[in-house]
Amino acid sequence: MSDTHLDSNIPGNPAYHFTILPPERATGAGWGQRPELVPGARALTRCVHAGVQPDPAYGAVMPPLYLSSTFAFKDICTNAGYDYTRSGNPTRACLEEALTILEGGSGATCTSTGMSAVIVALNLLPVGSHLICTVDCYGGTFRALEHAKKTYGLEVTYLDLADLDAVKAALRPTTRMIWVETPSNPLLRLTDIAAIAKLAKAHGALTAVDNTFLSPGLQRPFEHGADLVIHSTTKYLNGHSDVVGGAVLAAPGNTALAQQIQSLNNLLGTSQSPHDCFLVLRGLKTLQVRLKQHQATATEVAAFLDARPEVRVVHYPGLASHPQRALAERQQDGPGAMLSFELNDGSRERVDHILRSLRWFTLAESLGGVESLVAHPASMTHASMTPEARAKAGISDGLIRLSIGIEDPADLIEDLRQAFETLPVPTIATHAGAHI
Ligand SMILES: *Cc1c(COP(=O)(O)O)cnc(C)c1O
């Protein structure tokens, strides 16, 4: 076990100052120019090239997968920049560099899961901190915060972050972080990142944005003043439902914060395996292409649902009826591909029918993969919330969430249509005498 990566070259131990050998690739001119050095590369191009350049040893176009847990020292204080894979790994570094480029941050650290990214970010908070969190946050984040309340005495206030006066009123001298998820899960409520970041900054608190639902392909929170971006790379960034992973990123110019999150990831032992990093890096290349189709399909499905008489409301930022449409257009590059809808009659029987009769939508948790999924938040993703907390967050039993994949919209619409058309007759529509 080595902590040299954590402590090396931090002023205070001059007797053991490390020499990092210049990486071969720095001298490997001719293999290709690093993508961040190409001025003005656009999103589609950045996704393909970020963090990757031909390997100097053999010119391999994809980065080598370095599975080694440990790295040789040349002598007592000289290595090639890596000593132990928990602390740092060349394959992981490629993914971290790619994510840093895509989000526009100063540094990233990749974690074993999205939840461990949440844990790394929460570990920035000193004892006695107060945190303000969006009321309809990811269920796992809610569970982690409730655990931190009981175990570490973290104080947490859950709020609708659209209500800026309420956020102002909730600030305490000990408020050190505001936790934003936008769009939120599962109601697709938006938070004005710039407005929250301004409030937080004036108060000396950090703004952390969980950007999982859109990815940097559609929203870059640092452009709006966020200090930290959190990802479950399990979702859109990897996009193929075959990896769990996460990432924490620090804002541009804040290299101290970047170093802190990297140190915490090493200290907590939450870093991501090189193999998983390799897969996420592979998925990243098609992020922008996937998002285009995800959104095209989602837009048609949302319009179809919006016109169905069985549906009370569709939550999707791409619909003209979304109450925060203007903010979506200002803050996002597109509406994304997550949506939820509520049935007029959300009885157990009818919800069950929809969930059971869909053929292209798999009943499963998670999101952001190329295949469409359907979920029932009250019994699945948000089951760890108390019924009171769910009610407060507006998550009813009749709410159904869809993660729209990249299938042909016509197939998904046909599937939804057959599920609606075979719905059992609502109990309220039967003659009154039978329903006492
Ligand atoms: C899935 C998810 C997480 C947790 O990520 P895992 O990879 O499942 O640990 C955190 N935040 C949001 C918004 C998510 O959707």
Choosing from 284, 307, 331, the residue where a domain stops is 284
Quick one: tokens of 215? 């990815």
Nearest Cα to Cα of residue 106 among 193, 229, 203:
229
- What contacts 27, CB < 8 A, 6 or more positions away? 56
Predicted confidence (pLDDT) at residue 434 exceeds the cutoff of 70: no
All residues at 6 or more sequence positions from 355 whose CB lies less than 8 Å from its CB, including other chains: 363, 374, 376, 400
Indicate if 183 and 280 belong to the same structural domain.
yes
Whether 23 is covered by a domain: the verdict is: no
Whether residue 322 has pLDDT greater than 60: yes
For the residues 424-435, what does the mean pLDDT come to? 54
Query: What is the mean pLDDT of the segment spanning 284-294?
Result: 97
Same domain, 339 and 263: no
Residue 118 lies in a domain: yes
Residue 403 CB less than 6 A away from ligand 1: no
> How confident is the model over 77-95, as a mean pLDDT?
93
pLDDT band at 323 (very low <50, low <70, confident <90, very high): very high
What number does the ligand 1 atom closest to the CA of 185 have? 13
Neighbours of 282 (CB within 10 A): 16
pLDDT for 38 equals 65
Cα–Cα distance measured from residue 301 to residue 125, given in angstroms and rounded to the nearest whole number: 41
Are the CB atoms for 127 and 241 separated by under 8 Å?
no
Same domain, 47 and 93: yes
Q: How confident is the model at residue 28 (pLDDT cuts 50, 70, 90)?
A: very low
At CA 96, angle to CA 93 and CA 100, rounded to 5? Answer: 140
CB 253 within 8 A of CB 44: no
Q: Which of 340, 331, 329, 336 is nearest to 295 (CA)?
A: 336
pLDDT in tens, 185-197: 899 999 999 999 9
Distance 37 CA to ligand 1 centre (A): 32
Residue 42 included in any domain: yes
In a domain, 12, yes or no: no
Residue 235 designated active-site? yes
**What would you report as the CA-atom Rg of the chain, rounded to the nearest whole angstrom?**
23
Q: Which helix (H) or strand (E) holds 195?
A: helix 193-203
Q: How far apart are the first and last CA of the chain?
A: 69
Is pLDDT above 80 for 435? Answer: no
What the block records as the tokens of 117 is: 């990214």
Going by the DSSP 8-state scheme, the letter that residue 234 receives in this structure is: T
Between 226 and 8, the higher pLDDT residue: 226
Whether 175 and 292 map to the same domain: the answer is no
Quick one: three-class SS letters along 39-83? CCCCHHHHHHHCCCCCCCCCCCCCCCCCCCCECCCCECCEECCCC
Give yes or no for residue 140 CB within 6 A of ligand 1. Answer: yes
265-282 confidence digits (pLDDT tens): 999 999 999 999 999 999
* Total tally of structural domains belonging to the chain: 2
Same domain as 229, residue 353: no
Tens-place pLDDT, residues 387-398: 888 887 788 999
Catalytic residue of the set 138, 158, 236, 316: 138
When pLDDT is cut at 50, 70 and 90, the band that residue 22 belongs to is low
Instruction: Classify residue 25: in a domain, yes or no.
Output: no
Q: What is the mean pLDDT of the chain?
A: 90
Kindly tell me if the per-residue pLDDT of 21 is higher than 80: no
Question: Of all protein residues, whose CA lies closest to atom 15 belonging to ligand 1?
Answer: 212
Q: Ligand 1 within 6 A of 276 CB?
A: no
Domain extent, residue 311, equals: 288-421
* 277, 242: one domain: yes
Residue 109 lies in a domain: yes
Residue 14 lies in a domain: no
Question: Mean pLDDT, to the nearest integer, of 22-30?
Answer: 47
Task: Indicate if 300 and 205 belong to the same structural domain.
Answer: no
Which atom of ligand 1 is found nearest the CA of 115? 9
Query: DSSP letters along 372-391, please?
Result: -EEE-TTTTTTTTS-HHHHH
CB of 244 shorter than 6 A to ligand 1:
yes
Mean pLDDT of 105-129: 98
Residues 222 and 105 in one domain: yes
Q: What is the mean pLDDT of residues 25-37?
A: 47
User: What pTM, to 2 d.p., does this model score?
Assistant: 0.90
Q: Predicted confidence band at 55 (pLDDT cuts at 50, 70, 90)?
A: confident
Q: What was the pLDDT predicted at 427?
A: 57
Which CATH number fits the domain that encloses residue 87? Answer: 3.40.640.10
CATH of the domain at 315: 3.90.1150.10
Report the pLDDT value the prediction gives residue 11, as an integer from 0 to 100. 56
Query: Out of 92, 176, 189, 235, which one is annotated catalytic?
Result: 235
- Per residue in 27-44, is it b (16+ CB within 10 Å) or e — as a string? eeeeeeebbeeeeebeee
Q: 270 and 184 share a domain? A: yes
For a mutational test of ligand 1's pocket, the pick from 235, 242, 365, 366, i.e. the residue with the most ligand atoms closer than 8 A to its C-beta, is 235
> Closest ligand 1 atom, CA of 246?
7
Asked whether residue 293 falls in the same domain as residue 279, the answer is: no
Q: Which residue has the tokens 């993969």?
A: 369
Q: Which of the two residues, 373 and 76, has the higher pLDDT score?
A: 373
pLDDT at 431: 46
Statement: residue 46 has pLDDT above 80: yes
Measure the CA–CA gap between 339 and 351, rounded to whole angstroms: 16
Distance CA 305, CA 412 (A): 11
Which of these ranges, 15-19, 126-130, 156-160, 216-220, has the smallest mean pLDDT? Answer: 15-19
